[in-house]
């Protein structure tokens, strides 16, 4: 099955003709607002950033699973099939935004490396998680997070 065999969960703000930055507050199994695709495997044309405020969630993709706890975050690339599974006591915010919000105009201050520069910065962010775990003495978490990311393309 390809990613196109799963539900395309659209950005509700983009669909309504509003500014295309959507913030979802998810707590106790309820999302405000509740988009199509909530709690099922889905994909979307937007980037997604998830920040965990409490409890634990599991970010599931077609190739693996990543557990995130309070204070941890994940970046999901556009067109990646995924689902967020929750555990009791969870609370997270999910931010959906189109690529155009992080794109840079020609000659602008951020245009030096374009998309390649953006990929390098997001890779640096993913390595921060492993470095923080090592600094805290949690070698298993550091090794596990690197291994999981290798198995979950599109998720940092």
Q: Quick one: 74 exposed, middle or buried, by C-beta within 10 A (0-12, 13-18, 19+)?
A: buried
- Tell me whether residue 156 is in a domain: no
For residue range 92-125, list pLDDT tens digits in order: 999 999 887 877 666 554 555 544 454 444 444 4
81 contact partners, CB below 8 Å, separation of at least 6? 3, 6, 41, 42, 43, 61, 62
Rounded Cα distance, 63 and 1, in Å: 13
Domain that holds residue 121: 3-151
Q: What is the CATH number of the domain that holds 108?
A: 2.60.120.10
Element (H, E) at 56: strand 56-61
In a domain, 107, yes or no: yes
Asked, for residue 60, whether it belongs to a domain, the answer is yes
pLDDT tens-digit map of 63-99:
899 999 999 999 999 999 999 999 999 999 999 998 8
- Count of structural domains within the chain: 1
pLDDT at 13 over 50: yes
- Kindly state whether residue 128 falls inside one of the protein's structural domains: yes
125 assigned to some structural domain: yes
């Amino acid at each position: 099955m390809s990613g196109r065999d799963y539900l395309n969960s659209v950005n509700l703000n983009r669909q309504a003709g509003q500014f295309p930055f959507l913030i979802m507050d998810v707590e106790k199994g309820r999302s405000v607002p509740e988009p199509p695709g909530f709690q099922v495997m889905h994909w979307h044309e937007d980037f997604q950033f998830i920040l965990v405020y409490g409890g634990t969630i599991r970010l599931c993709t077609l190739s693996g699973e990543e557990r995130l706890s309070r204070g941890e975050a994940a970046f999901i690339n556009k067109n990646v099939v995924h689902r967020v599974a929750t555990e009791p006591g969870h609370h997270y915010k999910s931010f959906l935004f189109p690529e155009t919000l992080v794109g840079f105009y020609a000659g602008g201050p951020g245009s030096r490396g374009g998309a390649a520069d953006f990929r390098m910065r997001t890779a640096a962010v993913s390595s921060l998680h492993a470095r923080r775990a090592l600094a805290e003495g949690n070698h298993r978490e550091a090794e596990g997070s690197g291994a999981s990311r290798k198995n979950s393309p599109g998720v940092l």
